[in-house]
């Protein structure tokens, strides 16, 4: 049996959780088989995910995107955004964290012109940042 300390489990925007992995060797062929408990992996991911959701909510609220605003524009039930980490809601929060302007697109009823203008504006900002970094 071989044990490795330091395997990293991490949810998007969450902290790294370090787990200990256990491998056993097949007596017939010598192949290493991962014997790490699924519970160990799931618990580490759940810890990272819980902190991830808190980090995302804090970031969005500090950027002017309140939970109520996000729930309203995406048609979520009131109070559905919490640190509980409901999978569909946490996936949506990760997308909004990556692309906060999705809230504004939703507020404008997914108008195709508004979407095009927003994407163009965001792309322009990215190009400005890239150009500034390479000079």
In a domain, 19, yes or no: yes
Measured from the Cβ of residue 55, the count of other Cβ atoms closer than 10 Å reads 18
pLDDT of residue 37: 82
In a domain, 38, yes or no: yes
Residues of the chain where predicted confidence (pLDDT) is lower than 50:
135
Angstrom CA distances, 133 to 73, 112, 122, stand at 35, 32, 17
In a domain, 132, yes or no: no
How many whole angstroms separate alpha carbon 80 and alpha carbon 70? 10
In a domain, 90, yes or no: yes
In a domain, 51, yes or no: yes
pLDDT of residue 27: 84
pLDDT of residue 135: 45
Q: Which of 83, 22, 81, 79 is nearest to 50 (CA)?
A: 83
Contact (Cβ atoms closer than 8 angstroms) between residue 71 and residue 38: no
pLDDT of residue 85: 65
pLDDT of residue 5: 66
In a domain, 15, yes or no: yes
pLDDT of residue 38: 84
Q: Which of 45, 41, 44, 34 is nearest to 1 (CA)?
A: 34
The predicted model scores a pTM of 0.75
Measured distance between the N- and C-terminal CA atoms of the chain, rounded to whole angstroms: 53
pLDDT of residue 24: 85
In a domain, 80, yes or no: yes
In a domain, 117, yes or no: no
Q: How many domains does the chain have?
A: 1
Q: Which domain holds residue 51?
A: 2-98
- Return the ∠ at Cα 106 (arms to 100 and 108), rounded to 5°: 115
């Amino acid at each position: 049996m071989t044990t490795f300390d330091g395997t990293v489990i991490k949810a998007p925007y969450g902290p790294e959780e370090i787990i200990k992995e256990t491998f056993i060797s097949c007596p017939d062929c010598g192949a290493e088989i991962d014997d790490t408990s699924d519970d160990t992996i799931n618990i580490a991911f759940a810890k990272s995910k819980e902190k991830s959701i808190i980090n995302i909510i804090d970031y969005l609220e500090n950027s002017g995107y309140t939970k109520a605003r996000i729930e309203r524009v995406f048609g979520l039930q009131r109070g559905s955004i919490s640190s509980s980490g409901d999978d569909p809601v946490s996936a949506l929060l990760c997308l909004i964290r990556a692309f906060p302007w999705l809230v504004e697109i939703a507020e404008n009823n997914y108008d195709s012109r508004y979407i095009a203008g927003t994407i163009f504006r965001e792309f322009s900002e990215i190009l400005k940042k890239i150009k500034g970094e390479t000079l």
